[in-house]
Amino acid sequence: MTDDDGLAEAFERQQPRLRAIAQRMLGPSGEADDVVQEAWLRLHRTDGIDDLGRWLTTVVSRLCLDVLRRRATRREDPIEDIFTDAAPASPASADPAIQAEMADAVGGALLVVLDSLQPAERLAFVLHDLFGVPFDQVASLVDRSPDAARQLASRARRRVRGGSPTRPVDPARHAQIVAAFLAASRNGDLEGLITMLDPQAVLRSDESAVRMGAPDSVLGADAVAQMFSGSARSARPALLDGVPGVVWAQGGVPRMAFHFTFVDDRVALVEMEAAPDPSRVEMLTMSGAPLPVRPVRPDPSADA
């Protein structure tokens, strides 16, 4: 085995944890994978590393911090209209795989709140609270004292806890909001859309939706509203796993699902899912009545 082989194996053992850190810092986007890849390239060019795990965590964290700071000035481009008729507590184990699995349990609601934090707050919270990185290491990344890093994490923790919905979920109310959102989208009512969105609203897309032309993410109420304004001409309200949402279908077959997450009766997160399982979708008419979903017919050429 060559030295390069040994280095690659050591990096691969760290990779699940590094990817989990990057995804919690940046969201489930291509940028997270790019950061991990850049860390590998830098490792390949560096000699004399005593603590590989700490070194890689430092590199990935600094790269993520740079991305978060750039996002503040980066404009998100709206996707092409696809609706037209034409178209935790600190981990107890240091095992990277276990830590990554625990981090994967953090859902979209937390990501919405994390996107409202300042970059240094987000880094302090993610590294310490989700991955157990000590405050002296966090402090070196944000150029502050350990006590100041502890305060950053504490402030972020309070905002994360305060960002979860505190009132009981009202499906009927949420269905009304989704219907109003869909109507405003069709009518090009930009101001109306903005009022229904949380100021820190986020739109995220799965990998299949990205391949169809959607962005990995769109951040902020204005940007999300711009993306939806004037579209949705072929979209319909639907129940997605029993929760109010929106579906774009062709020939009665769901092609794109839009899952809504609410915070205080405002849309905080919209998740785009391409080719949703029809069994999880109950399409509705604009009046709210059920509309049967046609089963997906197999492609006769698939077995050819």
pLDDT digits (tens, 9 = 90+) for 119-159: 999 999 889 877 889 999 999 999 999 999 999 988 887 77
Q: Which domains does the chain have, with CATH numbers?
A: 3-162 (1.20.140), 171-291 (3.10.450.50)
Q: Among 45-59, 63-77, 272-286, which stretch is predicted with the lowest mean pLDDT?
A: 63-77
pLDDT over 70 percentage in the chain: 74
Mean pLDDT of 54-73: 88
Over the chain, what HEC string results?
Answer: CCHHHHHHHHHHHHHHHHHHHHHHHHCCCHHHHHHHHHHHHHHHCCCCCCCHHHHHHHHHHHHHHHHHHHHCCCCCCCCCCCCCCCCCCCCCCCCHHHHHHHHHCCCHHHHHHHCCCCHHHHHHHHHHHHHCCCHHHHHHHHCCCHHHHHHHHHHHHHHHHHCCCCCCCCHHHHHHHHHHHHHHHHHCCHHHHHHHEEEEEEEEECHHHHHCCCCCEEECHHHHHHHHCCCCCCEEEEEECCEEEEEEEECCEEEEEEEEEEECCEEEEEEEEECCCHHHEEEECCCCCEECCCCCCCCHHHHC
Model confidence at 12, pLDDT cuts 50, 70, 90, reads: very high
Tokens 């964290």 sit on residue = 61
CA 73 to each of CA 51, 145, 174, 219, 220: distance values in angstroms, whole numbers, following the listed order: 35, 28, 32, 11, 12
Which residues, at least 6 apart from 193, have a Cβ–Cβ distance to it below 8 Å? 181, 184, 185, 224, 225, 228, 229
Q: How would residue 73 be classed by pLDDT, with cut points 50, 70 and 90?
A: low
Asked whether residue 105 carries a pLDDT value surpassing 70, the answer given is no
Residue range 229-257, pLDDT digits in tens: 988 778 888 888 778 889 988 877 888 89
Question: Does the pLDDT at position 92 exceed 60?
Answer: no
Q: What pLDDT shows up at residue 161?
A: 59
For residue 108, the model assigns a pLDDT of: 54
Question: Mean pLDDT of all residues in the chain?
Answer: 76
